[in-house]
Amino acid sequence: MVYSQTKTNMEKQDHLKSLLQVVNLKKYFPMKQGVLLKTKQYIKAVDDISLIINKGETVGIVGESGCGKSTLGRTLIRLHKPTEGKIFYKGQDITSASEDTLRKSIRKEIQMIFQDPYASLNPRKTLKKTIIEPLHAHRIFLKSIDRLNRVKELLETVGLDAIHMNRYPHEFSGGQRQRIGIARALALQPEVVIADEAVSALDVSIQAQIINLLQRLQTDLGLTYIFISHDLSVVRHISDRVAVMYLGKMMELAATEQLYGNPAHPYTQALLSAVPTTKGSKKERIVLQGELPNASSPPSGCVFHTRCPMAMSICKEVVPDVKAIQPNHYVACHLSDI
Amino acid sequence: MKNMPNLLEIKNLKTHFVSKKNTVPAVDGVSLSIKQGETVAIVGESGCGKSITSLSIMQLVPEPNGEIVGGTILFNGKNLLECTEEEMCHVRGKDVSMIFQDPMTSLNPVLTIGEQLMEVVVHHQKKSKQAAYERAISLLKMVGFSNPEDIMKNYPHRLSGGMRQRVMIAMAMICNPSLLIADEPTTALDVTIQAQIIELMKELNDQYATSILLITHDLGIVSEMAEKVVVMYAGQVVEEASVEELFSNALHPYTEGLIRSIPVMEGERKELYSIPGNVPSPEDFPDHCRFATRCSKAFARCFQGQPNLIQQTETQFVRCFLYEE
């Protein structure tokens, strides 16, 4: 059964209520080839994605490598300039805002945590300098003693000892470095934190520490998270809603319980069944054949039809629309029309 | 399977890294055994010594700092540690073969897939090029390539991660080894490709009775593939159990914590249990129980000496003072 709420209706929703909203967002990367470096092809990293993020919630974005989940995260905060579509932050259109305007508005309010905490920290800066830098850049706390106090406060928040303030990144373990990355992201009291594979490089026991820390910070500071990860069990644990991406397209979006308990898209079903679990119930696994197609020449129609166990003839020709099969459960699949 | 003789038996293996400043006991007295056709998993976090254990079996410990300083590694009754380098060359790739986490760095970028696969057969089995070609084609078919002739002509960089890992498995299996060591074979792969590789390895294990030593940090993969599990922490085995025992009744507080700290795919979402602190670095392993400082059940005794591996059931062993009489 198909509810009347379609993609166009989603656009009409009041974007003033939402914190961050994207409408038909596209990000294409040109591929230059030949002697004259002419652009012949585009990689459609993000292709027509609409998404609303409300205050205080955690939206998980899952998908395999190359599905465009990181590009989506970066385009959301204008680290990439979108090819098409609109981005609204607190009702304000930031799609083509100048870098100057961005610096005054969203750069402070949306922060990012990266996968590799070592690569994202400057090896020649001490912990103190790393965390003070955003305070300097945005001219917060004019007195140095205030800044120092803020650093101490932040370190305490993320569970690091302030006496290690003068150490360099290499002197910390992986988990501690990720805590530093979190402290730096929190320095400017952001509204939204985008975590791009923030716990993927960590060991199991450390991963649990960081997940708990992120959840505690969300309750304490009222943060909104966009949690990008390939790890389905971590995303299930932390997210309120989950979006599944495949080759730049959004395949399914639903509340976490709904998506994991009752996945509607064949790709989501295969993805979920592929996760090895420790629980005894050995379910029948849907093993997808083949690999992710090349993003520069994605399949016609539904991009998933080449690997889909339930593909029909229409799937090769027509791109399925994102439809609501239930309130707040969106799927892009022709099967939901039947 | 219980009465089968051990294919591989490691006793009290010690692999140390020696530098001018200090000695780092990366593997400190590890014992484990694998029977014919059995899949044994070594689990642990980074730095626990699981990879060095596997490299020690192959005697590929990084020179010149790494050194096997004690213990025996019996393979089919023969002590590999007494073998000469030449003898080891006949063992590696033929009787025992290995696949690694990153298939790109373990394939030669300037040789085609075909040349690399055929080299193994020509070297170990002294077969003709034609026979080697046929063997390579049949192996590529076995690991699921529909166009093996094309793959043979390709260079590694033209294949995707999952395809490279399947080539690695084909190369490892080409001489019908009795033991396959898989060191984080699916860690670098996407979850749908990981599922393909897991299914393939299970199939090989069923069809050819190849024993598998699986090294991983992912308990999900362990529960799907292994029959026996060895949990390592800070260079030592802290628990050994059958896979059923491990997930229903883990004895060591570390194993228990590890299992409780993974987010689950079904059921209620609760706050994750997390083991406090970090894995100690091998330079300063404590004299007492190595897990004591992070253990929620530690008592006075834990800070006074090292516990021994104690047998609890027929198949379950644990290194913890809680179980000592």
Scan for tokens 């002294």, then name that residue: B126
Q: Which of B246, B278, B296 is the best substitution to test chain A (most A C-beta atoms within 10 A)?
A: B278
Q: Each residue of B174-198: pLDDT tens digit?
A: 998 999 999 998 887 888 888 888 9
Establish if A287 touches chain B: CB-CB under 8 angstroms: yes
**Tokens standing for residue A6:** 């379609």
Establish if A201 touches chain B: CB-CB under 8 angstroms: no
Closest by Cα among B72, B82, B63 to B18: B63
Q: Which of A171, A172, A204, A294 is the best substitution to test chain B (most B C-beta atoms within 10 A)?
A: A204
**Tokens standing for residue A3:** 């509810």
Establish if B264 touches chain A: CB-CB under 8 angstroms: yes
Contacts of A171 in chain B (CB under 8 A): none
The pLDDT, as a whole number, for residue A54 is 94
Q: What does pLDDT average to over chain B?
A: 91
Scan for tokens 């007195």, then name that residue: A143
Establish if B88 touches chain A: CB-CB under 8 angstroms: no
Closest-CA residue in chain A for B159?
A: A291
Q: Each residue of B100-157: pLDDT tens digit?
A: 888 788 899 999 999 999 999 999 998 999 999 999 999 998 888 888 999 999 999 9
Closest-CA residue in chain B for A240?
A: B269
The pLDDT, as a whole number, for residue A26 is 95
Quick check: B265 and A260 CB within 8 A?
yes
Q: Each residue of B247-279: pLDDT tens digit?
A: 999 999 999 999 999 888 888 888 899 898 888
The pLDDT, as a whole number, for residue B303 is 95
Closest-CA residue in chain B for A285?
A: B195
Say whether pLDDT at B46 is over 90.
no
Angle between helices B161-173 and B191-208 (to 10 degrees): 10
Is residue A299 reached through a cis peptide bond, with omega within 30 degrees of 0 on the bond before it?
Answer: no
A96-100, A127-131, B95-99: segment of lowest average pLDDT: A96-100
Q: Which of B262, B284, B293 is the best substitution to test chain A (most A C-beta atoms within 10 A)?
A: B262
Query: Residue B225: pLDDT band by 50, 70, 90 thresholds?
Result: very high
**Tokens standing for residue A271:** 């993805």
Alpha helix ranges (H) inside A105-173:
106-109, 127-137, 144-157
The pLDDT, as a whole number, for residue A11 is 45
Q: Which of A164, A197, A203 is the best substitution to test chain B (most B C-beta atoms within 10 A)?
A: A203
Closest by Cα among A236, A276, A279 to A259: A236
The pLDDT, as a whole number, for residue A280 is 57
Quick check: A208 and B46 CB within 8 A?
no
Q: A209 vs A206, A225, A280, B15, B321, CA distance in Å? A: 5, 17, 26, 31, 26
Say whether pLDDT at A184 is over 80.
yes
Scan for tokens 């080539």, then name that residue: B167
Query: Residue B7: pLDDT band by 50, 70, 90 thresholds?
Result: very high
Say whether pLDDT at B162 is over 90.
no
Residues 44-103 of A with CB under 8 A from B: 64-65
Q: Measured between CB atoms, which of B191, B224, B265 is closest to A64? A: B191
Say whether pLDDT at A120 is over 50.
yes
Strand partners, B6: B35
d(CA B38, CA B35): 5
Instruction: Please list, residue by residue across B122-161, b when 16 or more beta carbons sit within 10 angstroms of its beta carbon and e when fewer do.
Output: eebeeeeeeebbebbbebbebbbbeebeebbeeebeebbb
Contact B216, B187 (CB under 8 A): yes
The pLDDT, as a whole number, for residue B1 is 55
The pLDDT, as a whole number, for residue A172 is 87
Establish if B242 touches chain A: CB-CB under 8 angstroms: no
The pLDDT, as a whole number, for residue B56 is 94
Say whether pLDDT at A289 is over 90.
no
The pLDDT, as a whole number, for residue B2 is 57
% of residues, chain A, pLDDT over 90: 61
Establish if A294 touches chain B: CB-CB under 8 angstroms: no
Length of chain B: 325
Q: Measured between CB atoms, which of A64, A207, A275 is closest to B265? A: A275
Quick check: B220 and A291 CB within 8 A?
no
d(CA A60, CA B180): 37
Q: Each residue of A272-282: pLDDT tens digit?
A: 998 888 765 55
The pLDDT, as a whole number, for residue A10 is 46
Query: Residue A13: pLDDT band by 50, 70, 90 thresholds?
Result: very low
Q: Measured between CB atoms, which of B190, B223, B258 is closest to A276? A: B223
Chain B: give the shortest CA distance to residue A309, in Å.
13
The number of beta carbons lying within 10 Å of the beta carbon of residue B300 is: 7
Quick check: B261 and A207 CB within 8 A?
yes
Quick check: B263 and A279 CB within 8 A?
no
The order of strands in the sheet holding B23-35 is: B23-35, B6-18, B66-75, B78-79
Q: Each residue of A238-262: pLDDT tens digit?
A: 999 999 999 999 999 999 999 999 9
Closest by Cα among B28, B203, B220 to B212: B203
d(CA B216, CA B198): 12
Closest by Cα among A285, A241, A228, A276 to A67: A228
A66 burial type by CB count under 10 A (0-12 exposed, 13-18 middle, 19+ buried): buried
Quick check: A211 and B272 CB within 8 A?
yes
Instruction: Please list, residue by residue across A152-179, b when 16 or more beta carbons sit within 10 angstroms of its beta carbon and e when fewer do.
Output: bebbebbbbeeeebebebeebbbbbbbb
Contact A64, A39 (CB under 8 A): no
